[in-house]
Amino acid sequence: MKIVDKILDSRTTALIGRVLLCSMYLQSLYDKANWQRALGEMTHFGLEPAGLYALATVAVQIVGVILIIWGRYAWLGAGALAIFTLLTIPIAHHFWTITGMPRTLEIYVVYEHISVVGGLILAACLCRRDGYKT
């Protein structure tokens, strides 16, 4: 169908997709604008020194999001966010230490993270295909 082809071939559609893919990182950055909350989150997960981990998290998320949304060097932004996202699983989602429904919910979050990593890989591939070279 021509309308579907037009939508899927549109750079605007691709941009909207990249922004939506980055929405969880944008929300995280918004939350970390409250520095005390950012430090509290790091401390909650046992990451010390909390300030260093919070700063590293913010840096990876800002750079990754900018590169993906911009389209250039999307592979670098996607790679950084993919590694970051996979690292959050053993740090923040200890499904193997809990039982019952809380375990099931944590497993869902883990698979959502893995799905986001797949989306990041696709975004990097599509940016390259669309001519946003390094």
Three-state secondary structure call for residue 93 = coil
Query: Per the domain annotation, does 34 fall within a domain?
Result: yes
Q: Specify the number of domains making up the chain.
A: 1
Query: Per the domain annotation, does 53 fall within a domain?
Result: yes
Query: Per the domain annotation, does 119 fall within a domain?
Result: yes
How much is the pLDDT for 133? 64
Query: Per the domain annotation, does 113 fall within a domain?
Result: yes
Query: Per the domain annotation, does 24 fall within a domain?
Result: yes
Query: Per the domain annotation, does 84 fall within a domain?
Result: yes
How much is the pLDDT for 130? 83
Regarding pTM above 0.75, the answer is yes
Domain that holds residue 58: 2-129
Residue found under tokens 């911009």: 70
The pLDDT of 52-68, averaged and rounded, is 98
Query: Per the domain annotation, does 134 fall within a domain?
Result: no
pLDDT at 75 over 70: yes
The pLDDT of 104-122, averaged and rounded, is 98
**Residues 63, 69, 73: CA angle, nearest 5 degrees:** 60
Query: Per the domain annotation, does 90 fall within a domain?
Result: yes
Give which of 29, 87, 76 is closest to 55, Cα–Cα.
Answer: 29
